[in-house]
Each structure stands twice: as C-alpha cells, then as structure tokens.
Amino acid sequence: MIEEFTIAEERLDSPDSQRLLGELEADLRSRYGGEEHPWVKPSPLEVAAFLVARGRNGHPLGCIALRRREDGSFEIKRMYVRPEARGRRLGDRLLAAVEERARRLGAARVKLETGVPQPEAMAVYERNGYHPIRPFGDYKDSPLSRCYAREL
C-alpha cells in the first residue's frame, strides 16, 4: 500500500519545521563526524520556500528548502526524510514540489550540494535528472562536497 502524502509550504520557524531541521542536523553530524564540511544554513531571509511533507495523519515526514542566492540563482537546501518514511520515494516528491515552486519564482535551473557520506542522497538526485557540476560558493574547497544541477 502506498501511503498518501501532502506537501505544503510551512514556516521555517514552526515547531515541526524546527524538529525536522534538528533531526537533519544530527544526521549530518553523525555522518560527517569530525570531517571538515561547510555547514551552510540559509537565513530565514534567504529562504524562498520551505516545504514539509506530512502523512495522512498529519505527522511530519520530511522537508526541503529553496534558497535564493545573492547572484539570483536558486539552491535546494535542507532536504530530509525521516527514517520511517524512507524507501517510499518521498524524496522524489519533495524535489518535484520544490522545483515547481522554483519555476513559479522564475528559476530556469536549480543547484544543490550534498556530500560523499550521503550516497542515498546522490542516488535520489541522479534518479531525478540532476547532473554533477563543479563545487560552487561555500562548497568550492570542500573535498567531501558533491554538487548537482538540473535545468527546469
């Protein structure tokens, strides 16, 4: 049986959003340990959209953010799916939803950064048509960073 999900824009500072972001932060810290990695957190002013996926019961299952960069480009940030919701293609649905939001904001392309300790994230992006690009911005000197982009 395929669980139904809703994905909607929510406030970055809501309790559910903050819980999801805290879980993501803990997951990233456990994966990267003491390794050097640029921990880039977009400020609320840079966040063009923050989306939360919820199950039929309203329980938050995942999130994704769209960051408007100073150069006018858009970067996908903070994609996270709770462990109990993984394996159901929720990441694919979150990507599609944030891409649609980016299109409505005038984006022709989105980019993102992930890292070597996140192979399942790289698989999701590649499965959804993202192609590798050179590391950019805060990530350009990080040996653990892997950057991707997709034309919309």
Please report, for the domain that includes residue 135, its CATH number.
Answer: 3.40.630.30
Q: What is the pLDDT tens value at each position of the chain, 152 positions in all?
A: 456 899 999 999 999 999 999 999 999 989 988 655 556 666 777 899 999 999 999 999 999 999 998 888 899 999 999 999 999 999 999 999 999 999 999 999 999 999 999 999 999 999 999 999 999 988 899 899 999 999 99
Contact 138, 101 (CB under 8 A): no
Contact 76, 112 (CB under 8 A): yes
Tokens representing 113?
């950064």
Q: So what's the pLDDT on residue 78?
A: 94
Q: So what's the pLDDT on residue 4?
A: 86
Q: So what's the pLDDT on residue 1?
A: 41
What lies within 8 Å, CB to CB, of 118 at 6+ separation is 31
Cα–Cα dist 76/82, whole Å:
18
Query: Roughly how many angstroms between the first and final C-alpha of the chain, as a whole number?
Result: 31
Q: So what's the pLDDT on residue 40?
A: 66
**Nearest Cα to Cα of residue 20 among 78, 85, 77:** 78
Q: Is the pTM of this model over 0.85?
A: yes
Contact 60, 54 (CB under 8 A): yes
Q: So what's the pLDDT on residue 71?
A: 84
Cα–Cα dist 16/44, whole Å:
16
Q: So what's the pLDDT on residue 138?
A: 85
Number of structural domains found in the chain: 1
- Structural domain of residue 25, as residue ranges? 5-151
